[in-house]
Amino acid sequence: MADETEKEKPEGGEEALDRRQFFVRVGVGSLAVAGLGTAVFAYQFLSPNVLYEPSPIVNVGSPESYPPNSVTLDPQAAIYIVREAPGFYALTAICTHLGCLTAWKPELGIIACPCHGSKFNRDGAVIAGPAPRPLPWFRMWLSDDGDLMVDRSSPIAARQFVRI
Amino acid sequence: MARSLTTYLDDLRDSRVWRSIFRSGPGQSNLHRALVVQSNVFLHLFSVKARKRVLDFSVTWYLGALTFGAFLILVITGVLLMLYYHPSVPLAYSDMKDLEFVVSSGVFLRNLHRWSAHAMVLLVFAHLAKVFYRGAYRPPREFNWVIGVVLLLLTLFLSYTGYLLPWDQLAFWAVTVGSNIASAVPLLGHHIRFLMLGGNLVNANALLRFYVLHCMILPLAAILFIAIHFWRIRKDGGLYAGAPTTTAEKEAER
């Protein structure tokens, strides 16, 4: 055993490898390649390529259905449709803290999260609580039929109103 | 009656079939008792002998054994619950309601599963604290401590994945919050959440993934690590006893 350990000490170039060391390297190398392949395979297999999730683009109805100066929660789409003097905007109803569905509190004029107590203004700005970011605004436009459309996958900078 | 019963049992132990299964044969000697443990696939994980002192309640409070007991109850009740539960969005909640209101003894099994799960989490924590405060994690038992921490994590993951399965509001929001906590991991967070849920939302894929984790992957991992945990107790010199304190104990262990 003693002289074997001495042999395993690196002696410089690849020529110094004896047959045992060579096969150990081949074996370890093959296992590493196979392990890497397995990891890539597993990652790809576990990531679904097709998702049967609702479309991020939702039709939220005609602008007339929203009274002036109102905040309306669409709980299915998890968005607020806000109508103010300058126009319409949509912002997420999903709390930026840990993803709970927030609620509009008309008596206080704020958006509040029931899970951990974050509070937001109607424009999405954080007033209180653990939420790290304001509620993002989503891209909104008028469809050809005159309905308001919201793309929940496209956050935009705040204060871009849809004027009707 | 008692006499005839023991004779009957002795005859049974001496029968050819019994002896073909349990090779240690009849006998009361220490050698025989050691053979019983050594030649049994389950018992051979354990030591053939233990200090009498470490079997006192005060030493371990039997917390490890109680945890294992809770785990056994969970496996048995869990397998039975699987016979009525479909891990699909339209059926999961109504199956859980059926177990509560329609299936004979369903409410008993479901509550037994639920309370045992709570008990197992508590017992694992208590076991960990007891081992820690007695110093039983110190060498040569440090590797078994690590196995124990793995088992704590497996218990918590089992508890968490099982929490989604009733598919009620509590389950849905707890998993929404939990998966968002996972996405706070630097760089890889959103990938971890995506793989965990099998999508971007807590939905059908998430329910199925949690079901497979809860009923197959995590229990198998737990059984494997429990086996190593028990075996390591023997390999590390038995349950940690500490030094004998009373003269009687010192005398007994001389």
- Please report residues of A whose CB lies closer than 8 A to that of B173: 100, 115
Residue of B nearest to A45 (CA): B195
Q: Do A99 and B177 touch (CB under 8 A)?
A: yes
Is A33 contained in some domain?
A: yes
The mean pLDDT value for A4-30 works out to 76
Pair (A95, A131) in one structural domain? yes
Across-strand partners of A79?
A74, A92
Whether B106 has a pLDDT exceeding 50, the answer reads yes
- Which tokens sit at B139? 């060498």
Q: Do A99 and B179 touch (CB under 8 A)?
A: yes
Q: Which helix (H) or strand (E) holds A137?
A: strand A137-142
Distances (CA, A) of B188 to A65, A89, A132, B184, B191: 42, 32, 19, 9, 5
**Which of A98, A102, A115, A152 is best to mutate for the B interface (most B CBs within 10 A)?**
A98
Residue of A nearest to B178 (CA): A98
Is A97 contained in some domain?
A: yes
Whether B248 has a pLDDT exceeding 80, the answer reads no
Question: Which of A43, A52, A98 shows the shortest C-beta gap to B180?
Answer: A98
Q: Do A46 and B201 touch (CB under 8 A)?
A: no
- Give me the number of domains chain B comprises: 1
Which pLDDT band, with edges at 50, 70 and 90, does A13 fall under?
Answer: low
**CB proximity B173 to A under 8 Å:** yes
- The pLDDT tens digits for B193-204 are 999 999 999 999
Pair (A36, A83) in one structural domain? no
CA distance A90 to A154: 11
Which pLDDT band, with edges at 50, 70 and 90, does A10 fall under?
Answer: low
CA distance B214 to B216: 6
Whether A2 has a pLDDT exceeding 60, the answer reads no
Is B133 contained in some domain?
A: yes
Question: Which of B173, B194, B198 shows the shortest C-beta gap to A115?
Answer: B173
Pair (A41, A70) in one structural domain? no
Looking at per-residue pLDDT, the higher value among A113 and B29 belongs to A113
Residue of A nearest to B183 (CA): A98
How many helices (DSSP H) and strands (DSSP E) are in chain B? 13, 0
Is B17 contained in some domain?
A: no
C-alpha closest to that of A141 among A45, A55, A58: A58
Whether B243 has a pLDDT exceeding 80, the answer reads no
Is A12 contained in some domain?
A: yes
CATH number for A100: 2.102.10.10
Is B79 contained in some domain?
A: yes
Is B80 contained in some domain?
A: yes
- Please report residues of B whose CB lies closer than 8 A to that of A48: 198-199, 205
**Residue B254's pLDDT is what?**
63
Q: Do B203 and A53 touch (CB under 8 A)?
A: yes
Pair (A145, A116) in one structural domain? yes
Looking at per-residue pLDDT, the higher value among B79 and B240 belongs to B79
Pair (A73, A29) in one structural domain? no
CA distance B56 to A82: 68
Is A161 contained in some domain?
A: no
**Residue A1's pLDDT is what?**
45
CA distance A56 to B201: 12
Is B246 contained in some domain?
A: no
- Please report residues of A whose CB lies closer than 8 A to that of B198: 46, 48
C-alpha of B77 from chain center: 13
Is B207 contained in some domain?
A: yes
Pair (A22, A93) in one structural domain? no
**Residue B32's pLDDT is what?**
86
Pair (A71, A12) in one structural domain? no
- Please report residues of A whose CB lies closer than 8 A to that of B176: 98-100
Residue A2 Cα, gap to closest chain B Cα (Å) = 28
CA distance B97 to B107: 9
Looking at per-residue pLDDT, the higher value among B4 and A67 belongs to A67
**Residue B33's pLDDT is what?**
87
Looking at per-residue pLDDT, the higher value among A81 and B10 belongs to A81
- The pLDDT tens digits for B64-74 are 999 999 999 99
C-alpha closest to that of A151 among A54, A53, A56: A56
Going by C-beta distance under 8 Å and a sequence separation of 6 or more, which residues neighbour residue A37? none
Whether B244 has a pLDDT exceeding 90, the answer reads no
Pair (A117, A141) in one structural domain? yes
CATH number for B212: 1.20.810.10
Say how many CB pairs under 8 Å bridge A and B.
Answer: 30
Residues 132..161 of A with a Cβ closer than 8 Å to B: which? none
DSSP per residue over A34-79, as a string? Answer: HHHHHHHHHHHHHS-SS--PPPSEEE---GGGS-SSEEEEETTTTE
A125-139, B28-42, B197-211, B234-248: least confidently modelled range = B234-248
Q: Which burial class, exposed, middle or buried, applies to A141 when counting CB atoms under 10 A from its CB (0-12, 13-18, 19+)?
A: exposed
Q: Which helix (H) or strand (E) holds A152?
A: strand A148-156
Which pLDDT band, with edges at 50, 70 and 90, does B11 fall under?
Answer: confident
Is B32 contained in some domain?
A: no
Is B116 contained in some domain?
A: yes
The mean pLDDT value for B88-92 works out to 96
Whether B252 has a pLDDT exceeding 80, the answer reads no
Residue B17 Cα, gap to closest chain A Cα (Å) = 47
**CB proximity B195 to A under 8 Å:** yes
- Give me the number of domains chain A comprises: 2
Could you list the residue range(s) of the whole structural domain that residue B100 is in? Answer: 61-240
Q: Quick check: pTM over 0.90?
A: no
CA distance A57 to A137: 14
Is A100 contained in some domain?
A: yes
Pair (A120, A78) in one structural domain? yes
Averaged pLDDT of chain A: 91
Pair (A37, A105) in one structural domain? no
Pair (A39, A12) in one structural domain? yes
Measured N-to-C along each axis, helices B106-134 and B63-82 cross at an angle, to the nearest 10 degrees, of 150
**Residue B14's pLDDT is what?**
84
Pair (A122, A94) in one structural domain? yes
Could you list the residue range(s) of the whole structural domain that residue A29 is in? Answer: 2-46
Whether A159 has a pLDDT exceeding 60, the answer reads yes
